[in-house]
Amino acid sequence: MERAGSRGAVRARPRRARRIKSLDGCTRPGSRRVSASEVLSRPSPLPLYDSAAPRSWALEEARALWKYRGLVHELVVRDIKVRYKRSVLGIAWTMLAPLLNMVALTLVFSTILKQQIANYPVFFMTGAIFWAFFSQTTSTAASQTQDSNEIAKRIYIPRSVFVASAIGVGLVNLALSIVPLLIILMVTHFPIYTTWFFLPVAVAIETLFAAGVGLWLFTFASRFSDVREMYVVIVQTWFFLTPIVYHPAIVPPKFRFALWLNPVYYLVQTFRKPVYDGVLPSVALVAVSSALSLVVFVSGWIYFAKRAERFAFHS
């Protein structure tokens, strides 16, 4: 019995071997036979990265920003909550700050300097709201480099997310700042013109410009930390060079060129005319404002995208 069993086992082995050989030999007609061991030992092809191949840095950064758009929303909500977390009045400070500045500057320019501007509170508010949005978003973008470096050391996040969040916070504060402007209009019995419908277009143009300046500042501040401190001084000087607290007509003719060279001047006028003057900005004014914003944004985005991979080396 034992011999018979052993013979059956011995006879079964060749049959299994023949089956394996037949499987190895199963190939398509006209093709070379490939053994199982050869298939297992053959390495799978790996994707090749050609560093010399042309790359669209701007498009890659745009795709990454769109992919992380949910994170932009979370950062905007976080920044707003953290900023007013321990404040008694909370987010109401966004509406009170323009009112307090308006009262102080109205006393200075309307009473002390005897500056004759009709409905000066409305005139000032229309310029101050835009300036607060511009200075806040650009300054925040310049100071976001340190926060972005700390997060990027742990996980991958496109740095454009932080610039976008700064713009988002600025837009929220801009929307809230419209409330004190409406209060001033009601108190002073100033009419609300139908030209207000143009405000979204003006805000879109100014947002594009602020985003472009923010991209340039973020790129430079990631390498040179002095940029943040320098920009604080620049913004303060820039404020008085822009006709926000004074009318452009009081500027002497020999110094008018300073207004024409100031890009923010065109943006302020685009925002102010529908609200204060009750007229739509001219086609030339809108064209100049749009062209300046596009040039600053596109150039800033391209330069930012090209330098994005080097931000980690400057952290």
Name the residue type at position 293. Answer: S
> Residue 14: inside a domain, yes or no?
no
**Total tally of structural domains belonging to the chain:** 1
> Residue 138: inside a domain, yes or no?
yes
Tell me the Cα Rg of the chain: 32
Name the residue type at position 291. Answer: A
> Residue 4: inside a domain, yes or no?
no
pLDDT of residue 34 exceeding 60 = no
Q: Are 273 and 197 in contact (CB under 8 A)?
A: no
> Residue 58: inside a domain, yes or no?
no
Q: Which residues contact 45 (CB under 8 A, 6 or more apart)?
A: none
Portion of the chain with pLDDT greater than 90, in percent: 31
pLDDT of residue 55: 61
Query: What is the rounded CA–CA span in Å between residue 134 and residue 137?
Result: 6
* Tokens read off for 135: 């200075």
> What is the per-residue pLDDT across 162-171, written as a single tens digit (0 to 9) for each?
899 999 999 9
Higher pLDDT, 293 or 38: 293
> Residue 85: inside a domain, yes or no?
yes
> Residue 42: inside a domain, yes or no?
no
Domain ranges, residue 278: 64-314
> Residue 54: inside a domain, yes or no?
no
For the residues 56-62, what does the mean pLDDT come to? 82
pLDDT of residue 228: 84
Higher pLDDT, 195 or 4: 195
> Residue 121: inside a domain, yes or no?
yes
> What is the per-residue pLDDT across 214-246, written as a single tens digit (0 to 9) for each?
999 998 888 877 888 899 899 999 998 999 988
pLDDT of residue 268: 95
Task: Indicate the average pLDDT of the chain.
Answer: 79
